[in-house]
Amino acid sequence: MIILNLILGTLVTTIGFWILQGTASQSVVALWAVTVGAFLWWRVRSITELWAWATLLLGLESFAWPIQVMIQFKAVSETPSQDEMETMLTAVILGLFSSVFWIAFSYGLFKRAWGPFPGPARGASPAGDSPQPASRKKSR
Q: What is the pLDDT of residues 24-57, one digit of tens each?
A: 789 999 999 999 999 999 999 899 999 999 999 9
Residue 23's pLDDT is what? 77
Say which residues have a Cβ less than 8 Å from residue 58's Cβ, sequence separation at least 6: 12, 13, 16, 102, 106
The answer to whether position 140 is within a domain reads no
**DSSP symbols for 124-135:** --TTSPPPPPGG
The answer to whether position 98 is within a domain reads yes
The answer to whether position 47 is within a domain reads yes
Separation in Å, CA 46 to CA 6, 10, 50, 94, 110: 10, 15, 6, 30, 11
Mean pLDDT of 114-138: 58
The answer to whether position 128 is within a domain reads no
Q: Quick one: which of 8, 120, 115, 1 has its CA closest to 53?
A: 8
Residue 3's pLDDT is what? 92
- Cα 25 from Cα 13, distance rounded (Å): 16
The number of domains in the chain is 1
Query: Is pLDDT larger for residue 81 or for residue 98?
Result: 98
Query: Is pLDDT larger for residue 123 or for residue 92?
Result: 92
Q: How far apart are the first and last CA of the chain?
A: 61
Domain containing residue 40: 2-115
Residue 81's pLDDT is what? 85
The answer to whether position 94 is within a domain reads yes
Residue 73 pLDDT more than 60? Answer: yes
How do residues 99-123 score in pLDDT, each as one tens digit? Answer: 999 999 999 999 999 887 655 555 5
The answer to whether position 135 is within a domain reads no
As a whole-number percent, the residues of the chain with pLDDT over 90 amount to: 54
Residue 92's pLDDT is what? 92
Residue 50's pLDDT is what? 95
Say which residues have a Cβ less than 8 Å from residue 123's Cβ, sequence separation at least 6: 130, 131
**pLDDT averaged over the chain?**
85
The answer to whether position 106 is within a domain reads yes
The answer to whether position 84 is within a domain reads yes
